[in-house]
Amino acid sequence: MNHRKTLLAASIVAGLCLSVGAYAQDSTQNPNNQGNAQNNAAAKKKVTELPSVTVTGIRATEAASLALKKDANSHIEVVTAEDIGKLPVKNVADTLQRLPGVNISSASASEGGFDENDRVSLRGTNPSMTQTLVNGHTIGTGDWFVLSQTSTVGRSVSYSMLPSEIVSEVVVHKTSEARLQEGGATGTVDIITRKPLEFAKQTTGSVSVGGVYSDLPSSTKPQASGLFNWKNDDNTFGVMVQGFYEKRSLQRNGQELIGGYNQIQATDAVAKAHPDLAGVYYPQEIGSTFFTQTRTRKGGAIDLEWKPLDNLTLNLNGFATTLKADNYNRNYMLWTSQFINQGGLQPGYTVRNNMLTNASFAQVAGNTNPSVVYDQISRPGAESSSNYVTFDADWRATDNLTFKGQVGTTHGTGKSPTQDVLELGAQPGAAASWAIQGTGKPTNWTVGGDNSSPNAILPSAGWIFGENGIDAKDKENWVQGDGELDFDQGALSSLQFGVRYADHTRENLRSIAQGPTGDWQNLANYPTSWSNYPSDLASSVGGNFPSNIWYYSPAQLAAFDAKFANRDPVARFYFNDIYKVNEKDGAAYFQANFDGDRWSGNVGVRYVNTKENISYSSTSPIESGAIGPITGSAFGDYYWNTYHHSYGKLLPSVNFKFNLTDDLLARFAVSQTMTRPDYSSLAGFISLNDLTLAGSGGNPKLKPLISTNFDSALEWYFAPRGLLSASVYSMQLKDYVNFSNVTMSFKNMQDSATAGHDVFTNYLVSVPSNVNGSVKGVELNYIQPIGDNFGVSANYTYAAGHANNGAPLQGTSKTTGNVSAFFENAKFNARVSYTYRSSFYAGVSRADNFYQAGIGNLALSLGYNINDMMSVSFDAMNLNNATLKYYTKSDVFGNQPYYFYDNGRQYYLNVNFKF
């Protein structure tokens, strides 16, 4: 069977199925050979010679997706544009979560989850191990949350920047090929945008206008998007312009147990009165948390496509998006250590798993210590952005030889220009209680006094904190060239080859950690008006704790901090959160594609060379040539280190497909893939204590993760829209990154000063370290058409992963499942979907391992076609109003609650026009 003919047949099937899709475009993209100008041109020519076939909607695109999946030589999943248009989704991550083996999460650091999916990972791994590309190239990403900009800086892409309107097709590569860009140890997601010459009509346009209602804040905000495409009569020049504007109010009601869990000491007042409590643990702070945000996502894309010659296509593509994310977080926390220190514990307390789970404290005579610590943190100007520009040339040199070249640049940013913060103590000497109810329910707690007004605040027990001036950047410039030589005879159908060079930088070089100044503790300088939490905040997350709490407005905080916050760029320079990682990556690949009578496949190898320059700060000079000491900061002197490192990796891959019958096929794949360590793991601030010979920080000497992958699948395409499949996979992870305590040698500044020469000492430091691990799993997928108008689908993924040192692997949910059903006719369509993932290890926060509990979400999509040019759509997200739950794990006190969040439901109503 000829390889080129097979690809052509699949392209024709896809083109026919999508000929009158959401934007009436011809889709000739092929995940088996994307960007091959010859095949694409041939497919287009062939389509124009066939009779017109009109197929639209969920059913047609489901058939097209399965046709592309079936034809591919590697193991992929495909979602087409009409799929996205008919699913209850608002960004690309929402789309992908229903695919087998795909996990999504709504948080990237320890900020807790929100109501929009933000990160994508594959097959029970963390998001940094999944490569996200757009049209086969990197996209610079940004994060709006401050910790993702400074302290937990990964390699994953923020999908909140990528609205579904930009997508023509999404291809999820579960097995590797040499031609694919390295970086995705567990797989690659390639988001394919539309091209002007692929549209069927000379002029095509669409407009969608509507709004989103968020039920927690009871707010409606506007949504709009549009597309215009024009091409000339002879289909040699076209231009496409897209734009989108989406605004949304967000409210998150919650409870946070901040600071982890402390141990009662024998010298504490409560242990002196109750000696049995010595050594028992208790929650550090228990908070009533109220978060609000306005998100405005806007941007667009432009694409110019020109065919100056029959065998030459030029394309200029640009995309830009910005997410403005002003937010305000309030956390009113029971200051439990105050009660441990002052005593007053009443009889009836309980201890379970070495944890003081129920406690009631009476007022203690003469005690004036605050019972509450209250943080109000407003972040005006928080935003993230992402953009790219690429120029491509496709040249069909001969009937059998094609070349493709691309140059591009991409830039992402994450900004926190200002944090307006006020921390206060409150309720001096009050009585209080708490009752931990396990990991499934919030902790009930009380504190005496009036919490609805600021009449009992204690500025002397608070502070003004928070980092300002943060401008984190993620940028890459690249050039690449690819070629393909096709053969008309024999089992060898084509040879693909290419090179790529990229210069990538991730950095944040400025952070100003403010502090208080002036007469900030004088109550006469404080605002005299306030607002209050929602009275049902606690009940919305299923707990009983203070609600209706007072708070100042963001404008009041801004005015207060403008007067009383010290933001001196020198004295308050916070060197802990500055870093720079520059990587120069060169790659070359060679891939042979084969076709037989009932089989096909490919064999290839990709060689990657990486040169790293990792710059980070430390309290002592670590690298040779370290700059410092740099003085002037109130946080002490520091050194600026740069570590130079390079490595090369050979990444082989083999994919084989055998057609047992016309509808039943088997797949086998073996490969090695690579992911470079997270930026914060490489360039985290290193702090050393010369007295205790201990320390913590990043580890610039980390090795890249190499995964050895095995994949086998059996797929039965029993109907044009039907599939029953099963696959098993294994990933052996060499040099997976996890935290551990290791002994490392550093210069001892104190001993060196005493000795008069450099003295190096062994320190026990907690740093990211390379360990080995593994992930094994099973995927089951079932798609069933029912008659002409109905369909159901279900999939299940089981993943078991662990590190060889016994530690958990981040992001590994043992169980992920999806169920959906739809109805569609010429006028009306409806789809309901339910997605579930079991608990998974989410990371480390304040030295505690924390997990996200299992969660399921129900979504609904409805559509009505008024006529050929006008339709109405309605989407409902989180219909079951699931609560996000997090918990910690400990060998000494078991599982304990951590965070609880209610994000509410969202309802989208849009009117859509097309011509």
Residue 310 corresponds to which tokens in the numbers above? 């029959």
Q: What is the mean pLDDT of residues 699-719?
A: 96
Q: State what percent of residues in the chain have pLDDT above 70.
A: 92
DSSP string, 84-103: HHHSS-SBHHHHHTTSTTEE
Residue 338: inside a domain, yes or no? Answer: no
User: How far from the centroid of its chain's Cα atoms is residue 426's Cα?
Assistant: 37
Residue with the two structure tokens 């007022």: 363
267: domain CATH number is: 2.40.170.20
Q: Is the peptide bond before 677 cis (omega within 30 degrees of 0)?
A: no
Residue 109: inside a domain, yes or no? Answer: yes
d(CA 324, CA 380): 9
Phi, psi of 117 (to 5 degrees): -65, 135
Residue 459: inside a domain, yes or no? Answer: no
Tell me the Ramachandran region of residue 285: left when phi exceeds 0, alpha when psi lies from -120 to 50, beta otherwise.
Answer: beta
Nearest alpha carbon to residue 472 among 132, 109, 849, 94: 109
Q: State what percent of residues in the chain have pLDDT above 90.
A: 78
* 35 has pLDDT over 80: no
Predicted confidence (pLDDT) per residue in 357-389, tens digit: 999 999 999 899 999 999 999 999 999 999 999
Please say whether the beta carbons of 290 and 365 come within 8 A.
no
At residue 428, the pLDDT reads 95
Q: Helix %, strand %, coil % for the chain, to 5? A: 15, 55, 30
- Strand 790-803, strand 492-508: pairing: unpaired
Residue with the two structure tokens 């950690």: 513
Q: How many CA atoms within 13 Å lie on the side-chain side of 537?
A: 27
37-49 and 3-17 are packed helices; what angle lies between their axes, rounded to 10 degrees? Answer: 50
Q: What is the mean pLDDT of residues 507-530?
A: 96
* 44 has pLDDT over 60: no
Residue 190 corresponds to which tokens in the numbers above? 């390639």
* Alpha helix ranges (H) inside 835-910: none
* 22 has pLDDT over 60: no
Residue 470 corresponds to which tokens in the numbers above? 């943060």
Predicted confidence (pLDDT) per residue in 95-139, tens digit: 888 899 999 888 766 788 898 888 999 998 999 999 999 999 999
Nearest alpha carbon to residue 872 among 837, 899, 910, 905: 910
Provide the b/e sequence for 427-445 (b: ≥16 CB within 10 Å).
Answer: bbbbbbbbbbeebebbbbb
* 49 has pLDDT over 50: no
d(CA 434, CA 416): 35
Residue 147: inside a domain, yes or no? Answer: yes
pLDDT band at 56 (very low <50, low <70, confident <90, very high): low
* 55 has pLDDT over 70: no
Between 335 and 52, residue with greater pLDDT? 335
d(CA 540, CA 548): 13
Predicted confidence (pLDDT) per residue in 221-253, tens digit: 999 999 999 999 999 999 999 999 999 999 999
Please say whether the beta carbons of 898 and 887 come within 8 A.
yes
**Domain that includes residue 898, residue range:** 3-326+380-419+466-514+567-914
At residue 84, the pLDDT reads 57
At residue 793, the pLDDT reads 96
Q: What's the mean pLDDT when you consider all of the chain?
A: 90
Please say whether the beta carbons of 126 and 810 come within 8 A.
yes
Residue 770: inside a domain, yes or no? Answer: yes
User: How far from the centroid of its chain's Cα atoms is residue 811's Cα?
Assistant: 11
Predicted confidence (pLDDT) per residue in 809-836, tens digit: 989 999 999 999 999 999 999 999 999 9
User: How far from the centroid of its chain's Cα atoms is residue 859's Cα?
Assistant: 20
Predicted confidence (pLDDT) per residue in 142-177, tens digit: 999 998 999 888 999 988 888 888 888 899 999 999
Residue 636: inside a domain, yes or no? Answer: yes
At residue 26, the pLDDT reads 39
Q: Domain total for the chain?
A: 1
Predicted confidence (pLDDT) per residue in 716-742, tens digit: 999 989 999 999 999 999 999 987 777
At residue 45, the pLDDT reads 33
At residue 759, the pLDDT reads 85
Q: How open is the CA angle 226-230-231, to the nearest 5 degrees?
A: 155
Please say whether the beta carbons of 134 and 388 come within 8 A.
yes
Would you call 574 helix, strand, or coil by DSSP? coil
- pTM (2 decimals)? 0.91
Residue 909, burial from CB neighbour count under 10 angstroms (0-12, 13-18, 19+)? middle
pLDDT band at 754 (very low <50, low <70, confident <90, very high): confident
Predicted confidence (pLDDT) per residue in 627-683, tens digit: 999 999 999 999 999 999 999 999 999 999 999 999 999 999 999 999 999 999 999
Residue 424: inside a domain, yes or no? Answer: no
At residue 695, the pLDDT reads 80
At residue 21, the pLDDT reads 37
Lowest mean pLDDT among 77-91, 491-505, 692-706, 888-902: 77-91
- Strand 187-193, strand 130-134: pairing: parallel
Q: Does the CA dihedral 553-555-557-560 come out positive or negative?
A: negative
pLDDT band at 698 (very low <50, low <70, confident <90, very high): very high
At residue 732, the pLDDT reads 97
At residue 86, the pLDDT reads 58
- Cα–Cα distances (Å) from 885 to 810, 813, 839, 855, in that order, read 16, 14, 9, 8
Residue 712, strand partner residues: 668, 728
Q: Please count the residues of the chain.
A: 915
